[in-house]
Amino acid sequence: MSLSKLESLPNEILCDIIEKYINGVDLLSAFSYQLNQRFDAIISRSERLRFNFIQCHQDDFRICMGLLRAYIDKIEQLAISERETPGQVEAFLSFFPRFTLFRQLRTLYFDFDYDAVSARLISRALNSLLDSNIKTLSITAVNMDNGSNIRYDIPPIFTLKSLKRFTLRSDLYRFDWSNLMERQSNIQYLTVSGMNCALEDLVAIFKLAPRLKYLDVATFDQGYNRDSNTKRDLKMNNTIASSLHTLILSFSKDSSVTIQMLTPYFNCMPILNRLEIKAYGVLMDADAWRICFETSLPLLTHFYIRATISGIEKTGIENVLASFQTSYWVAKKNFNIMITEHENRLRHISNLNTITLLDKTEFDQSVTCCWIAPDRTSNNELVKVNRNICWKSVDRNSTILHNYYFDNVKIRAVDNIDKSLFQWLTKYVNCGCIKELIITAPEKTTEKLTKLVSFLTNINFLYISFDLLVVNIGAFKAIKRCVKHLNISHCEHTFNEQDIIVIGKCFPYLEHLNINTKGLYNVPLIKRYLKYLRSLTFEMRDYYINDFDDDSARRRLYDLHQQTRFLFSIKNRKMTVWMDQTAFDDSYWQTFAPKPSGNKRRNNSFSREWSEERHE
């Protein structure tokens, strides 16, 4: 909504919009102390503010750090993260070391990389939660198992009396749930992922949180064993999850858990009505599930189990599907299974980084085919699939795929653009839900790309080779305003001023750019043509000439921090820079400049054309 439209609204409505819908980051950077006394008064009168700093522009972050104390007692929701904004968490905690400073804080999203943030700052911030009144808490913590003592700061959080919803995503492998059995928690909704759990840890969780209504745990690893000195008797005995109505379990690929092993736990969930499982072949037993439901889960109304073809012999898929095609399963309208076939490797070209890759499994890889049972359709009706999946182009003539309508596809990978793709997309896929597009097709036909993009008008993330992009500039008009993430790092490409202009013309509102080039000395030119850019990611070509040991890598990283003035992180041989004026002006980029040649560089007409367009 434009500023003029906001100004036309009554104060009461404006105040309501500010409190319920507007991100405080946008509010302060756009309106606060901008010589608009009316807006300043309305902001000051607002009682509830929300600040989401995830992937924000560093200039906006800096403005907020200077103004936030004036509104500190009104902030109810806060989100801070290292996600494509390296250095944000440390900077925030340097200004506000304890969350108790925010007296009205009720919701907190806290994502951090232990390798990138001071352990002292993280520990102090986590401990301050114990004196807060937070109701909803989400923590994503990576590199926690690298000798971190912060793992001792996590368990006490479970006992925070005000806490009702808790999401904990971490690579903390040695988390001992049994040590929490003697504590009491008021948590009602709990999600845990990335941390290996044994099946018997369910006992500790239920004893810890007797009021639990919703539990989502991934990943169960039957081979995981605690240290011998912390083992306890973790049998269900009289433990009852009397309030639990939803249970979501994900099992590791090598898990040997069976339905018979799960049954004693189900017996202690008297009101469970929704059960979802991600597993492999051993749990795809229709008869065993029917017996389990009839004897242990009489109130179950929704059941969904998903498996991958790697856990089932391909020749046995028909047998598995047939076993779920009985009158019992057909009558249970909300009981379904899905078997998916995936690429044999996890693609890292999607909109992912260290934090978001934390708990990625085979289920998150591109799907090439799927099977669903039981089949309840008649007269060639389509089975509606509303599960979030990542689709890859496959044989669109396959009769299997013509049985389903995919209503919740978020990512689409395309390796062949032809007529059958367009027909399949329009008939079998809800294209409006697709947010990420990965194009690996070799075609350089603007007409085909234009038609493909016309179906996918809500794309936020685009992966494409720069060569394909540069010869199809006109194909992306339909998504030029919505693309915020662009990844052109598939292969090495040029990155001169003309190339940057092309990117700016195609995607003028781009916020995150991933490149693969030797022309990093042209990075300062970006600020002229991509004024909304928040982060830049690129290959560190000279950083890993040799394989360094840990000490050498730390020393080199330390030296690089001393040589530069901008905030950055290095993961998987790539540097991500949180861009601001300081980053653009840093002399670091000139270390990549080629040796001077005898010919003097002249301004090109393409640059002059851009300047003329911007002044029109």
What band does 149 get if pLDDT is binned at 50, 70 and 90?
confident
pLDDT on residue 126? 96
* SS3 category, 562: helix
Count H helices and E strands in the chain, helices first: 20, 23
153-176 per-position pLDDT tens digit: 999 999 999 999 999 998 887 788
More confident residue, 10 or 613: 10
585-612 per-position pLDDT tens digit: 999 999 999 877 655 544 455 555 555 5
Residue listed under structure tokens 């490149």 = 515
C-beta of residue 528 within 8 angstroms of C-beta of residue 497: no
Residue 498 pLDDT greater than 60, yes or no: yes
pLDDT on residue 228? 41
Residue 34 pLDDT greater than 50, yes or no: yes
Residue 265 pLDDT greater than 80, yes or no: yes
More confident residue, 18 or 111: 111
C-beta of residue 144 within 8 angstroms of C-beta of residue 175: no
pLDDT on residue 73? 94
* DSSP-assigned letter for residue 157: G
pLDDT on residue 519? 94
Residue 5 pLDDT greater than 50, yes or no: yes
pLDDT on residue 615? 47
pLDDT on residue 30? 80
* The two three-digit tokens of residue 56, written as one number: 């924000």
Across 497-525, average pLDDT: 96
Q: Which of 123-137, 198-212, 363-377 has the highest mean pLDDT?
A: 123-137
pLDDT on residue 395? 54
More confident residue, 594 or 538: 538
* SS3 category, 493: coil
What the chain holds in terms of domains, given with CATH numbers, is 435-616 (3.80.10)
* The two three-digit tokens of residue 510, written as one number: 């781009």
441-459 per-position pLDDT tens digit: 776 677 888 888 988 999 9
Residue 283's alpha-carbon distances to 203, 312, 392, in angstroms, are 21, 10, 26
Across 16-20, average pLDDT: 87
What band does 232 get if pLDDT is binned at 50, 70 and 90?
very low
What band does 132 get if pLDDT is binned at 50, 70 and 90?
very high
240-256 per-position pLDDT tens digit: 899 999 999 998 887 88
* The two three-digit tokens of residue 51, written as one number: 């600040």
Stated pTM of the model? 0.89
